[in-house]
Homo-oligomer: A and B are copies of this chain.
């Protein structure tokens, strides 16, 4: 991969009323409420993810952090990203080996991700019903579900009409 941030399109959740500033504000609020330390590296990483309007690879994040005077080695990025994911400020998109800001950091929610196979955009969709169905399937199998990764691949709104 030499692409930076996957795509810059198809990002319904981050625009309009629920803008980037709002997401960041929600996140900061939540950090304060829960006594979580949103340190400079972590904050910058989160800001970056939000600004990216799409998923970023760890090395993309690292490059920017490094350019801004933070550490220059992979663990710096991975630590910040993993912390953000652990605490619900970001999500890991396994299909893309990438990370994306959580669109609704205020709520403790289950999300599904809609990944466009043309522009690599990532949209976070509410997945309450999906999770419920999955929980049922797990119960039926005698499996104690903890958390889940749900990633859909297809065409986003914007790319749907295009040739390839």
> Which A residues lie at the B interface, using CB under 8 A?
12, 94-95, 112, 114, 116-117, 123, 125-127, 129-130, 132-134, 136-138, 140-157, 160
Contact = CB atoms under 8 A, between A and B. Distances in A.
Nearest to A160: B144
Contacts of A157: 141-143
Contacts of A112: 134, 137
A143 B156 contact: yes
Contacts of A136: 129
Given A125-B143, A129-B137, A145-B152, 8 more contacts: A95-B149, A114-B143, A114-B145, A125-B140, A129-B133, A138-B152, A142-B157, A146-B153
A151 B154 contact: no
A153 B160 CA distance: 32
Nearest to A121: B143
A12 B94 CA distance: 26
20 contacts: A94-B149, A114-B145, A125-B138, A125-B141, A127-B137, A129-B133, A129-B137, A130-B130, A132-B133, A134-B150, A141-B157, A142-B156, A143-B155, A143-B156, A144-B160, A145-B153, A147-B152, A147-B153, A148-B152, A148-B153
A1 B125 CA distance: 33
A116 to B, nearest CB: 8
A152 B160 contact: no
A146 B118 CA distance: 12
